[in-house]
A and B are shown apart, each in its own frame.
Chain A
Amino acid sequence: SQQGEEDPQALSIQEGENATMNCSYKTSINNLQWYRQNSGRGLVHLILIRSNEREKHSGRLRVTLDTSKKSSSLLITASRAADTASYFCATDANRANDMRFGAGTRLTVKP
């Protein structure tokens, strides 16, 4: 079963705009990760945030985590056409050592 749910399911923006995707999950976690997938290929790890962290940055990516609301957000600033992909959040459901994914947000960045 899926642990997380991303919102929105699809997002279309213009190049240069910011993109925000949200993830909600159900059970307690140790960590939350965001992954990117291009056209049904393998997933690429973007960023990890631990349960005791509230915000993390990596290049144009900013991730926040609110454990009280069981939610996270991924912000991509100054988006580029090459950012077009599906983005998934993943959590260690019930603190087990495996990852459970949401259904993803499909981001389209128009040039």
Chain B
Amino acid sequence: DAGVTQSPTHLIKTRGQQVTLRCSPKSGHDTVSWYQQALGQGPQFIFQYYEEEERQRGNFPDRFSGHQFPNYSSELNVNALLLGDSALYLCASSDLGTGGWAYGYTFGSGTRLTVV
């Protein structure tokens, strides 16, 4: 049973560019949440998707946007990259229908984004 799959694992982008990160949730999970983790910090909640709609959003600017597809996979898009966007981006999935996060999220290994 595959867990959460994220791609790519590493990415280097230039300031001002745009980036798309991808996530496939664990089989049976229908909810995807994205987190940004700067070096030495805890994960910061970006947003959560369920039924192809954004349900919750953290304190991130509109440069951060997302999408969820009918197969529950998700994309995170970041426009006009800043040096401060360099971080580990984590995707986590859960099954909202059986209680969602109350049973624990399954995390992917993350995408390490470096903006130069």
Contacts and interface: CB of A to CB of B under 8 A. Distances in A.
Contact of B110 (A31, A42, A88): A42
B109 A30 contact: no
A92 B43 contact: no
Interface residues of B, number: 31
Contact of B42 (A88, A97, A98): A88
Report, as a range, how many residues of chain A touch the other chain. 20 to 34
A42 B106 CA distance: 9
Contact of B45 (A40, A100, A102): A100
A30 B33 contact: no
A101 to B, nearest CB: 4
A31 to B, nearest CB: 6
Contacts of B108: 42
Contacts of A102: 42
A34 to B, nearest CB: 10
Nearest to A45: B104
**Centre residue among B43, B48, B56, B96 by max chain A CB count within 10 A:** B43
A43 B45 contact: no
Contact of A96 (B42, B56, B110): B56
B94 to A, nearest CB: 9
A99 B101 contact: yes
B105 A99 contact: yes
Contacts of B33: 98-99
Interface in B45-60: 45, 48, 55-56, 58-59
8 contacts: A31-B101, A40-B39, A41-B109, A44-B107, A45-B104, A98-B45, A99-B105, A103-B41
Interface of B: 4, 33, 35, 37, 39, 41-45, 48, 55-56, 58-59, 88, 90, 92, 96, 100-110, 112
Interface of A: 1-2, 30-31, 33, 35, 40-45, 48, 88, 92, 96-104
